[in-house]
Amino acid sequence: MSELFVVGLSWRTAKVAVREKLAFREEELGETLVALTRELPVTEALLLSTCNRVEVYGVAKREVDATAKVRSFLAQRRNVKLAEVGDALYEHRGPGAIRHVFSVASSLDSLVVGEAQILGQLKEAYALAGTAGTSGPVLSRAVERAFGVAKRVRTETTIARGAANVSSVAVELAGRVFGDLRGKSVLVVGAGKMSALAARHLYSNGAQRIVVTNRSPQKAEALADEIEATARPWAELEQMLVEADVVISSTGAREPILTKAMFKRIARARKYKPMMVIDIAVPRDAEPKIADVDGVYLFDIDDLDKVKAANIAERQKAAEHAGKIVEHEAGQFEHWMRSQGVVPTIRALREKFAAIADAEVSKALDQLARKDLTREQHRELLQRSVQLVVNKLLHQPTAVLRGSSADDAAVRAGVLAELFALEISEEPERSEIAGEPPAEPPAEPSTEPEVQA
């Protein structure tokens, strides 16, 4: 039976300096997959390359261990020595590979347990393998089942509940303040990447527009272009604060730039409509006392980290339940994989039985075509044809069983009894007592019509 395997490295086994050595650009994936299945004893393959992992999910040719060759292939393909990455590479085969794929899809193997991004990345990798023509029946069934397992985990557990990074925590807290983010405006103070990411998350969750301001106009414009925002001069900061519902601040200032005195004026100008200030700067950009101003909700980096830590703890608890789901589903899939090993035998058995039956049916049809046979002769002919089929099917296994040693015969008899649900009689037949040889299939019956007196 062909075996599913995984070869790769991830954040668990390699720092980014090692992971980046094996990383593939999107435009390289298709060609790499084709080369992998053409040059190695691999019949099916999928290549997943993200910032946190590079993994090959594959199916080896029957009775072949392809993992060592895949290790070498990855190193050669990226022009690195295997010794540079070998210690970080891991491999899983059979049941272990199935569990790994299911765990990855369910984000149980992610740096942030419960994150949703990996499932989308796996779906993209699977689609690309389909385009490259390197996905087949075993890999397709495994990956599609992994998608189903991931859906079960998200539906039946709380693993995805609660934000687990600064940008998504910002969205969660904004939702607590405003309920609905639709139509809310966002002001990014400073040109930090974390601010930009948080602003982007807020925008994708319904915030209407994003404005960026920075002491350096060029940096403000560059960031605004990157996140589809509007850049405005630093001199207009107080007016922009009046217009903003959500403020994300991350500058390099040594002293607070958002003061309580300023926010008293801003709150009056806004008629005390709620506004949220997310200060992710260190040192802090906002004076803690601005939280005392009516309508102002202030969160600093420690607040965000506390929410994130609580959410991660909740996800870890849910991961135990998710792990049981993965274990159950993996067991089901293993059962299916084992069943595939007997498919060729079942097919051959079916074909042989069908050939014997077809041959006898053809003979019977030729004889039944005679018009001078009575109804009773028709019946007798059909009964004899069926008996011939039964005799021919049983002849070989009966001969093997009778010719076996006592121990082998007992084992084979037990298998036959189980396969055909036989009720075994303890009383031997006469032929068995006398030691008679197995009966040969009877000669074909005569179909000459009876002479009527």
Residues designated catalytic: 51
Q: Is 89:81 a contact under the CB 8 Å cutoff?
A: no
Burial class from Cβ neighbours inside 10 Å (0-12, 13-18, 19+) for residue 30 reads middle
Helix axes 406-419, 375-402, angle to 10 degrees: 140
Residues 280-317, buried b or exposed e (16+ Cβ, 10 A)?
Answer: bbeebbbbeebeebeebbbbbbeebeebbeebbebbee
DSSP tag of 180 = -
State the Cα torsion 107-111-115-119 to the nearest 10°: -50
**Per-residue CA distances from 241 to 172, 245, 249 (Å):** 21, 8, 11
Please, what sign has the CA dihedral across residues 16, 22, 28, 34?
Answer: negative
Please, what sign has the CA dihedral across residues 166, 169, 173, 179?
Answer: positive
Cβ contacts of residue 325 below 8 Å, gap of 6+?
A: 106, 149, 152, 153, 156, 157
Type of residue found at 326: V
State the Cα torsion 216-219-221-224 to the nearest 10°: -130
Q: What is the spatial distance between Cα 185 and Cα 181, in angstroms, rounded to a whole number?
A: 9
